[in-house]
Amino acid sequence: MHHLATALGGVLAGLALAIPVLARQQRILTKVRWMAHHDDVTGLPNRRLFLDRLRAALNDNIPTGVVLLDLNDFKTVNDTLNHETGNDVLNHVGRRLSSLAGPILAARLSGDEFALLVTGDRAATEAAAHAAWQAIAAHSIRVVNGDLHVTASVGHTHTHSHHSAVGPRQLLSQADSAMYEAKVTTGRVREYLPHRTPTVRSRARQQH
């Protein structure tokens, strides 16, 4: 009986040592998984997670809209101020987009390019696009160097704008085309329309 109690005590002691190690490993694994699907500057979902969610919505035949946003003259912020200030701006923009009302997933795709995945009809997507533009432009952003007035060019598209099925990358391409058209015209919000002649991207924009 004494030997059994001793053995049991050893097992319990081993478990007491192992549990914190396993818990720490689980936390590390959870963090690694989170980092693989989120942007490290804003904490928003990244391009991979955005595409996964968009692909899932299309597979389930859910009416879905895609909104792309590109900050106007953001390169000037990095060039004239610094990258830390640029990251502050990206953080503020990310928080404003993630606080938009409705079934909307906000993501940072790369650089100063953000995206919204909107669950709903075409009108809901258009409303989200205008709300996103307003959320960014309505108030200046406070940074260490002062207040910055930031605006964005916004393009959007929707699955119901087409007569045939479209894939995730095609929707992104359409929203991107509309976004660039907004950038070279109004600098505000444009919708992708299939019958409209696409605006040719400049070399500078292609390398952006």
Say yes or no to pLDDT of 8 above 60: no
Domain 47-206 fold: Alpha-Beta Plaits (3.30.70)
Would residue 79 show up in a list of annotated catalytic residues for this protein? Answer: no
Q: Answer for the pair 83, 177: CB distance below 8 angstroms, yes or no.
A: no
**Per-residue pLDDT tens digits for 141-164:** 888 778 889 999 999 999 986 656
Q: Enter the pTM of the model.
A: 0.80
Q: SS3 letters for 33-87?
A: HHHHHECCCCCCECHHHHHHHHHHHHHCCCCEEEEEEEECCHHHHHHHCCHHHHH
Catalytic residue among 39, 88, 112, 176: 112
Domain boundaries of the chain, sorted by first residue: 1-37, 47-206
117 beta partners:
66, 105
pLDDT per residue over 81-128, tens digit each?
Answer: 888 888 999 999 999 999 999 899 999 999 999 999 999 999 999 999
Residues above pLDDT 90, as percent of the chain: 56
Asked if pLDDT for residue 184 goes beyond 50, the answer is yes
Q: Tell me the three state secondary structure of residue 162.
A: coil
